[in-house]
Structure 1
Amino acid sequence: MTVSTEDIVRHAARLLMAGTRLDLGRMATELGISRTTFFRRVGNRDDLMGAALRLLSDRTWQRALDGWRAEHGDAVRTPTGRLRCLWVMEEYRREVAASGGMRKLIEAESNVALRVLTDPRGAVQPGLVDAHVELFRADAEAAGLTPLVGLADLAFAVVRLGESFLYSDVLAARSVDLTVATTLVDTLVRGALEPAAAR
């Protein structure tokens, strides 16, 4: 059986979720391919970690979207008026923060993990920014909102703010406080998307 790049990335994602360090030589052996083939398919360790974390991030984001649909269908707001994007972002942050595998990775390899997670030219952050842009655009169109800033700028600011709270224990020696993160992100997004309501 041929082992594809996708197979390797999925295997790496499973290892990360289990809190297991990525050992590329061992992974090549487990998958039954040579180290040369392994590296040709996925690049170096940072490249593989980035691809695996991107896969996990995409899955987490999709679960948050699916959770919204299960609870609110095609609505763009909760019954209390909260925008869908705010709910989805909060669910995403909550799941990332609760992931034992992510916490183990950040504790064991904080420098590498944060570099891979927050690199604006890497695999993870740009994908998350794009997902935010898509959701902001859908919400703005569905709710008839006119954003005060470009959606790419808003998405970048929100993702960076979320990172600063999700990884605050490593970045700033502060405890992770998702309640404060939600308050700040909601205030920022509502100010940019719902300026009349925010005043």
Structure 2
Amino acid sequence: MSRPPPVAVPGRHAEAQRAFRLARRHFVAGERLDMGLLAAELGVDRSTVFRWLGNRDQLLAAILISLTDPAVQDAEAKAGGDGGRRIALTAYHYAQALIDSTFFRAYLKRESERALRLLTSTASPVQSHVVGIFERMAERERDRGALTHALGSHDLAYLVVRIIESFVYADIITGDPPDATKVRAAVAALLHADA
């Protein structure tokens, strides 16, 4: 993930927007999010920060989602091609961005269990957001006539995201090094594409 663009959090007032941007800046700087320190920096109490941004996990999920969209857009812009090849290359570039991101890797190392729960659990909005992105991509490629597959778009996207997770978080899950080339190969195989 490269340096994120400015973000506005829909439906939140200006002070909550400012709090979110500050929290995201701290996260991107590789710092651990501390709700008490964030409140102190904003000059409000913790309960105000919780009211504005939710609990720490909700804030981390919102930050991760806000960083996902530009990362996937950048990955898709680099991908080229169409159909399964485009999806496999997008998955590869997205995975590589996650692997290369210093602040993201610092977060994974610092809070491995929490990070995996927030990033890979169906109970968290992060995974469903990423699945939704790849589902829309699969539908676009299908609608253009560039992709056919026995699975529906949602199930296909879910598998693509699980493949990404398996190889990006391999060091945490199995002790193997993260490997975006394995993401590209596995997604290409799933989609019967050359990548």
Cα gap change, 1:121 to 1:136, in 2 (>3 Å): same
- Deviations 1:78-102 (Å, cap 9, x if unpaired)? xxx8732222221111111100011
Q: Structure 1 vs Structure 2: percent identity of aligned residues?
A: 34
Matched ranges for 1:60-71 at <5 A: 60-68=71-79
Distance 2:67 2:191 in 1: 24
Cα gap change, 1:160 to 1:132, in 2 (>3 Å): same
Distance 1:107 1:137 in 2: 35
Q: Is the 8 A contact 1:13 1:56 kept in 2?
A: no
- Does residue 1:15 correspond to 2:15, yes or no? no
Segments of 5+ residues of structure 1 without an aligned counterpart are none
Give the secondary structure class of the aligned counterpart of 1:176: coil
Distance 2:91 2:22 in 1: 27
Among 129, 143, 146, the alignment partner of 2:145 is 143
The number of residue pairs the alignment matches comes to 182
2:130 equivalent in structure 1: 128
2:92 equivalent in structure 1: 90
Among 101, 120, 132, the alignment partner of 2:103 is 101
- Deviations 1:70-123 (Å, cap 9, x if unpaired)? xx5xxx53xxx8732222221111111100011111111101111111121212
Q: Is the 8 A contact 2:92 2:184 kept in 1?
A: yes
- Shift in Å at residue 8 of structure 1? 2.8
- Does residue 1:48 correspond to 2:66, yes or no? no
2:7 equivalent in structure 1: none
Cα gap change, 1:92 to 1:25, in 2 (>3 Å): same
- Deviations 1:105-144 (Å, cap 9, x if unpaired)? 1111101111111121212100000000000110111135
The structure that has the greater radius of gyration is 1
- Shift in Å at residue 14 of structure 1? 2.0
The answer to which structure, 1 or 2, has the higher relative contact order (CA under 8 A, 6+ apart) is 2
- Does residue 1:3 correspond to 2:15, yes or no? yes
Matched residue type, 2:102: G
Cα gap change, 1:2 to 1:100, in 2 (>3 Å): same
TM-score normalized by structure 1?
0.83
2:8 equivalent in structure 1: none
Segments of 5+ residues of structure 2 without an aligned counterpart are 1-12
Please tell me the root mean square deviation across aligned C-alpha atoms, in Å.
Answer: 2.1
- Deviations 1:7-58 (Å, cap 9, x if unpaired)? 3333222222211000111111222332111001112111111111111112
- Does residue 1:34 correspond to 2:45, yes or no? yes
- Shift in Å at residue 189 of structure 1? 2.1
Distance 2:190 2:65 in 1: 25
Deviates more, 1:173-182 or 1:132-141: 173-182
